Amino acid sequence: MKLIMDWFQTWTRDKYLGHQSLAPLILLSVLPFFMLNEESFGFWIPWFGTFLWATRTKRQFADSVMIFWFALALGCSYYFYQYHVRVDILFWGRALLIMVLGLLTIQMSVPRVSALYFLAFVLVLVASSLTFQVWLALYLLVFLWALIQAILKLQFPAMVPGADSLPMGRYSLRITAFLGVIGYILFLVFPRLSTAQFPGSISISGFSDEVEFGEMTNLLQSDQVIMRVYSERPVKLAGMYLDQFDGKRWVNSQDYGMVMRNNRNPLRLPAAKFASMGQIFPVTIELMPTRHPQLFLPAYTAQIKTTERLYRDYHGAIRRSASIYTSPLTYELLVVGLSRPVSENSSISATGYQSLYLSLPETVHKDIVTLAENLTRETTQSLEKAALLERFFQTQFRYSLTSEHPGDPMQSFILNRREGHCEYFASAMTLMLRSLKIPARMVTGFQIGEFNPLGDYYTVRAKHAHAWVEVYAGSGMWVEFDPTAQSEADWMQGFRNLELLRDLGHLFEFLDMKWQNYVLYFNRLDQLLLWFQIRAWIEKNLLLTIALCLLVIVLIRLLLNFYFYGFRQKGVKNLSMTRLDALLQMHGIFRSPGMQPSDIPLKEQFQVIQEDLIQFQMNLYHEEFSGQFSKSLADQILDSIEAKLQEIKKTGSFCR
């Protein structure tokens, strides 16, 4: 490790004017953008290559070189992501920051050093607003440690060379740990003026009132956590009910009406009438901040408890009042567990459902209708017909995220190229059921995710987005059918199934949950609840509280001694080095960080102090190897240097 560090310092010393800590700080500041894989990901690759090239060659490149690279990178990034994610003003802000950083990096000068430190810090702040994950906490600590180490090198030059490099690293680590602990305590107790407002909310494609084919494709490839579900059994979570299809897209034609209720009582839903037909079980959902108001509910949800103002449409979909949320929403449900009925309860030809759930677009091909009739002619029961169609799609079609269906997507999917993702399967089955005069609707939502045994919850990610079919069975009952064929396991599935990797995944996701609950979204309400819990505990354990307070005071004193003992030991030497630098700078002599006093380049008129600088350096070496530093000797040497410099100035041989 020491050889690697020595090589890196030699590699960067000349390029960064002696600031060896600047290069790792710059690399650390842009590291999160590689890990985030967001829309500006392609923008960092040319910068990284140019950074390594400029640093390795130690050349001072013209600004036009970086401008050319970034113009090319901007064009490539925008072209690649314009059909995948929305490139907003924040993207251009990040691009501007990294472009300025690149320009300052490839053409170094003394005034640019401070600007680079500042820009590195700003980029870390920007990265903090782009992720929900716990790795950011470790990253912030590493960056803080590197930043403190850089500051120590600048403020305490005597700590830089030789044998002191390791102690300086330990001091930096101590300060980082101290600031981390004290900072989090202040974070918990400092009064909040508002709720948490970062990072940005999640955009979920495919859950608006209009859904076109292909909108969910990118969502199905994302590992972004959407919600966590606490439930005793796996459930599907419905978000939107779609009733009208025009051949290209599905639409929810029903408006939402406000549900009248108070904040104390839960909202009772129509499915409560089925409570006597099945077992009732509780479900708690923690929904991450999203840009969409939909709440996701299991089928036959009897009641919902939340503090939000709710709206309900004709189909039973629930949404909140606002459109953008910056903190998680937790809502509690009571769900009736019903098994799929064998046959419908009553006539399903009710006129109220005729226009909504039996309508077909004019473009439906007659061969699709004929195929549906041929597949279900052996039975007259609606639910049995639905089961036959479900089995047909599951066995005769193939799941694919890359299939394309130009022209009429349903005709292409059903009659020609029998492959697609869940949107195609659910749409096709819904249309075929309606062609048989069976009321059906398409539902979009989420399948249940992986169970996390550490937190006792299911983690639902964006890739668990799903579409399925519900068939009306009479008496207000809707029966779920899922025609989507099983997806083929990719070559990475074997690695994901390894027990060690699976357990590590559960651990990191559990830590993500704790990071979000106790840091990112720790708002004013959470703070008040924490204070109430602490006050209740103090009232019950007054004597123990007093003893703990005394113990904490003693521990703080011991920690302060432990963390800052090394600085007191080196205080005399650091003050002497600071005085030396001040004396030299007054006469136009500058020492780069990390440079030994005896190695300072001197003009001819200042050669008279060279011997004093060598003696001062020997005194430093004596401290490094024996642990003793002579304050009196250092003062004598510095007094001699000051006298000689003053004499040079008086004789007129000094040129400012």
- pTM for the whole structure: 0.65
For residue 449, which of 625, 644, 229 has the smallest C-alpha distance? 229
Q: Is 649 helix (H, G, I), strand (E, B) or coil?
A: helix
Most confident by average pLDDT, 52-66, 90-104, 154-168, 262-276: 262-276
Per mean pLDDT, which range of 77-81, 83-87, 336-340, 591-595 is the poorest?
Answer: 83-87
Q: Do both 234 and 309 map to the same domain? A: yes
CA distance 464 to 268: 28
Confidence class of residue 635 from pLDDT cuts 50, 70 and 90? confident
Q: Is the pLDDT of residue 282 over 90?
A: yes
Q: What is the 3-state secondary structure (H, E, C) of 500-511?
A: HHHHHHHHHHHH
Planar angle of CA 97, 98, 100, nearest 5 degrees: 70
Asked which of 122, 145, 168 is the last residue of a domain, the reply is 145
Q: Do both 473 and 583 map to the same domain? A: no
For the chain, the first-to-last Cα distance in angstroms comes to 43
**353, 392 Cβ separation under 8 angstroms:** no
CA distance 271 to 650: 97
State the DSSP code for 358: S
**320, 283 Cβ separation under 8 angstroms:** no
Planar angle of CA 531, 228, 232, nearest 5 degrees: 100
Q: Do both 416 and 271 map to the same domain? A: yes
**430, 228 Cβ separation under 8 angstroms:** no
Most confident by average pLDDT, 42-51, 513-522, 615-624: 513-522
CA distance 116 to 120: 6
Q: Is the pLDDT of residue 80 over 70?
A: no
Q: Do both 373 and 290 map to the same domain? A: yes
- Amino acid identity, position 245: F
Per mean pLDDT, which range of 82-91, 142-151, 404-413, 474-483 is the poorest?
Answer: 82-91
Token pair in block for residue 122: 């700003």
Average pLDDT over residues 648-652: 72
**82 in a domain, yes or no?**
yes
Q: Do both 216 and 336 map to the same domain? A: yes
Task: Provide the domain limits for residue 442.
Answer: 210-488
Q: Do both 108 and 34 map to the same domain? A: yes
Higher pLDDT, 553 or 26: 553
Planar angle of CA 64, 65, 70, nearest 5 degrees: 95
pLDDT at residue number 325 = 63
Rounded (to 5) percent helix, strand, coil in the chain: 55, 15, 30
Higher pLDDT, 49 or 1: 49
pLDDT at residue number 230 = 94
Count how many domains the chain has.
3
Q: Do both 224 and 364 map to the same domain? A: yes
Alpha helices in 349-381 (DSSP H): 351-357, 366-376
- Work out the mean pLDDT of the chain and round it to a whole number: 74
- Amino acid identity, position 119: L
Say if strands 419-420 and 398-399 run parallel, antiparallel, or are unpaired: parallel
**414 in a domain, yes or no?**
yes
Q: Do both 270 and 399 map to the same domain? A: yes
Average pLDDT over residues 281-306: 88
Asked which of 100, 115, 145 is the last residue of a domain, the reply is 145
Q: Is the pLDDT of residue 76 over 70?
A: no
Q: Do both 340 and 426 map to the same domain? A: yes
Instruction: Round the CA-based radius of gyration of the chain to a whole number and report it.
Output: 34
Q: Is the pLDDT of residue 155 over 70?
A: no
User: Which residues, in sequence order, are CB contacts of 393 under 8 Å at separation 6+?
Assistant: 425, 428, 429, 483, 484, 485
Q: Do both 249 and 118 map to the same domain? A: no
Token pair in block for residue 359: 């309508």
Q: Is the pLDDT of residue 340 over 90?
A: no
Q: Burial letters for 202-237: b for 16+ Cβ neighbours within 10 Å, e otherwise?
A: bebbbbeeebebbbbbbbbebeebbbbbebeeebbb
**503 in a domain, yes or no?**
no
Note the pLDDT tens digit of each residue in 370-398.
999 999 988 888 889 999 999 999 999 98
Note the pLDDT tens digit of each residue in 220-253.
667 788 899 999 988 999 988 888 888 888 888 8
Planar angle of CA 356, 361, 366, nearest 5 degrees: 125
**131 in a domain, yes or no?**
yes
**192 in a domain, yes or no?**
no
Average pLDDT over residues 541-559: 82
Q: Report the DSSP beta bridge partners of residue 481.
A: 469
Q: Can you give the length of the chain in residues? A: 656
Angstrom distances, CA of residue 121 to CA of 35, 98, 102, 127, 146: 18, 12, 15, 10, 11
Segment 139-142 long-range contacts (CB within 8 Å, at least 24 positions apart): 139/28, 139/31, 139/32, 141/176, 141/180, 142/28
Average pLDDT over residues 600-619: 81
Confidence class of residue 334 from pLDDT cuts 50, 70 and 90? very high
User: Which residues, in sequence order, are CB contacts of 458 under 8 Å at separation 6+?
Assistant: 228, 229, 230, 231, 234, 448, 449, 450, 451, 452
Edge-to-edge, what's the strand order for the sheet holding 478-481? 237-242, 440-446, 465-472, 478-481
Asked which of 88, 112, 145 is the last residue of a domain, the reply is 145
Q: Do both 234 and 365 map to the same domain? A: yes
Higher pLDDT, 595 or 541: 541
Note the pLDDT tens digit of each residue in 185-206.
888 877 766 544 445 555 555 5
**196 in a domain, yes or no?**
no
pLDDT at residue number 165 = 43
Q: Do both 111 and 228 map to the same domain? A: no
**427 in a domain, yes or no?**
yes
Angstrom distances, CA of residue 123 to CA of 130, 140, 316, 630: 11, 12, 45, 44
**359, 434 Cβ separation under 8 angstroms:** yes
Write the DSSP string, 275-342: GGGSEEEEEEEEEPPBSS-B--B-TTEEEEE-SS-EEEETT--EEES-S--SS-EEEEEEEEE-PPPS
Average pLDDT over residues 392-412: 84
**168 in a domain, yes or no?**
no
Confidence class of residue 162 from pLDDT cuts 50, 70 and 90? very low
By CB neighbour count within 10 A (0-12 exposed, 13-18 middle, 19+ buried), where does 254 fall?
middle
CA distance 454 to 449: 15
